Amino acid sequence: ELSKGINGLDKVILRDARGSSAEVYLYGAHVTSWKNDHAEELLFLSSKAIFKPPKPIRGGIPICFPQFSNLGPLDSHGFARNQFWTIDDSPPPFPTSTSNKAFVDLILKPSEDDIKIWPHRVALGPGGDLLMTSRIRNTNIDGKPFSFTFAYHTYFSVSDISEVRVEGLETLDYLDNLQKRERFTEQGDALTFESEFDRIYLSTPTKIAILDHEKKRTIVLRKDGLPDAVVWNPWDKKAKAISDFGDDEYKYMLCVEAAAIEKPITLKPGEEWKGRLELSTVSSSYCSGQ
Ligand code: TA6
């Protein structure tokens, strides 16, 4: 269902019969809302988000492509998040497991005469899961390889950042963006948050969990083709410096981003890469590990 969102920007609303929904802006192929079967909003969207190109939308799921952060010659986080994508009426084959669900296929064509195209699917699964699949194909006829880094820069909504734990990244190596991207090894237990946090965890397991005790809810990320995971919270000082982010909003969000950063992906002409992220929720009166 195509409709007008903020500032008249086109958005697609996906709905599942059991009550889950998602909103996807064509601008950035940006998911701004994801609600599960219990109609709970799982994504954080800043109250100060500016829905005005070329500014990317603050919150939801920006796609960082073809460059994560400033690790290359392009603008920070690349250009996919501030381009207008179009609805793809003849998408390439995606796994059949999504074929009977509510989904939308989008495509990014960098320019009219560009032969590179990047199809992307957002789908709702049973139980209100959110599934995203991106395909990048090198259609260069000039025979040149094409390299990129990538992240689903997902902003999750949390009840209180001080009460949140992230499981699945213990004992892994990470690059600390707050210390010149120096490499460290995570010690001990699940991650907890008490100050600014900006790390790229390397070669992570495919499953990561965000435990929110207050909401009695766990969000589970499952990823494919995306070996790294960025964890970010700006905390109070950095929050004040971000113009499209409320001063106190850092308390209610956490970015956990399925990514491919440390080893850029290189595609020879004709080669294709696929990245996939599946988000689901588990609600319980307790969280695992407690
Ligand atoms: O993913 C973490 C990060 O790269 C941080 O370093 C922080 O700057 C954030 O993304 C937001 O970037 P943005 O360009 O959207 O302001």
**Confidence (pLDDT) at 256:** 98
> How far apart are the C-alpha atoms of 186 and 201, rounded to whole Å?
9
289 within a domain of the structure (yes/no): no
Q: Whose CA is nearest to atom 8 of ligand 1?
A: 69
**Confidence (pLDDT) at 289:** 47
131 within a domain of the structure (yes/no): yes
144 vs 190, which has greater pLDDT? Answer: 190
Q: Which residue, chain included where needed, has tokens 């952060």?
A: 69
96 within a domain of the structure (yes/no): yes
For the question of residue 112 being annotated catalytic, the response is no
pLDDT digits (tens, 9 = 90+) for 247-289: 999 999 999 999 999 999 999 988 999 999 999 999 875 444 4
pLDDT digits (tens, 9 = 90+) for 20-70: 999 999 999 999 999 998 889 999 999 999 999 999 999 999 999 999 999
pLDDT band at 126 (very low <50, low <70, confident <90, very high): confident
**Confidence (pLDDT) at 146:** 87
288 within a domain of the structure (yes/no): no
> How far apart are the C-alpha atoms of 244 and 247, rounded to whole Å?
10
C-alpha triplet 185, 186, 189: angle, nearest 5° = 155
Ligand 1 atom at minimal distance to the Cα of residue 242: 16
Look at the chain and report how many structural domains it folds into.
Answer: 1
290 within a domain of the structure (yes/no): no
The residues lining ligand 1, judged by C-beta closer than 6 Å to any ligand atom, are 56, 69, 76-77, 153, 177, 198, 230, 232, 255, 257
**Confidence (pLDDT) at 188:** 79
pLDDT digits (tens, 9 = 90+) for 67-91: 999 999 999 999 999 999 999 888 8
**Confidence (pLDDT) at 116:** 63
**Confidence (pLDDT) at 98:** 53
For the question of residue 257 being annotated catalytic, the response is yes
Going through the chain in order, the beta strands assigned E by DSSP cover: 2-4, 10-15, 21-25, 30-35, 63-64, 86-87, 103-108, 118-124, 130-137, 146-152, 155-157, 164-167, 173-176, 182-185, 197-201, 207-212, 217-224, 228-233, 253-267, 272-283
Percent of the chain with pLDDT over 90: 78
175 within a domain of the structure (yes/no): yes
Mean pLDDT of 137-144: 81
**Confidence (pLDDT) at 89:** 84
CATH number for position 151: 2.70.98.10
**Confidence (pLDDT) at 90:** 82
15 within a domain of the structure (yes/no): yes
**Confidence (pLDDT) at 290:** 41
Strand partners, 174: 184, 201
**Confidence (pLDDT) at 114:** 57
**Confidence (pLDDT) at 144:** 87
Ligand 1 atom at minimal distance to the Cα of residue 234: 7
Q: Which of 153, 167, 249, 262 is catalytic?
A: 153
138 vs 180, which has greater pLDDT? Answer: 180
Strands 217-224 and 207-212: antiparallel
| Burial of residue 60, with CB atoms counted within 10 A of its CB: 0-12 exposed, 13-18 middle, 19 or more buried | buried
The interface predicted TM-score (ipTM) is 0.98
- Domain extent for 211: 2-283
Q: Which residue, chain included where needed, has tokens 């009426």?
A: 89
State yes or no: pLDDT of 246 exceeds 90. Answer: yes
208 within a domain of the structure (yes/no): yes
Residues 212 and 159 sit within 8 Å (Cβ to Cβ): yes
- Paired tokens of 173: 């190596």
User: Ligand 1: distance of its center to the CA of 69 in Å?
Assistant: 7
State yes or no: pLDDT of 96 exceeds 60. Answer: no
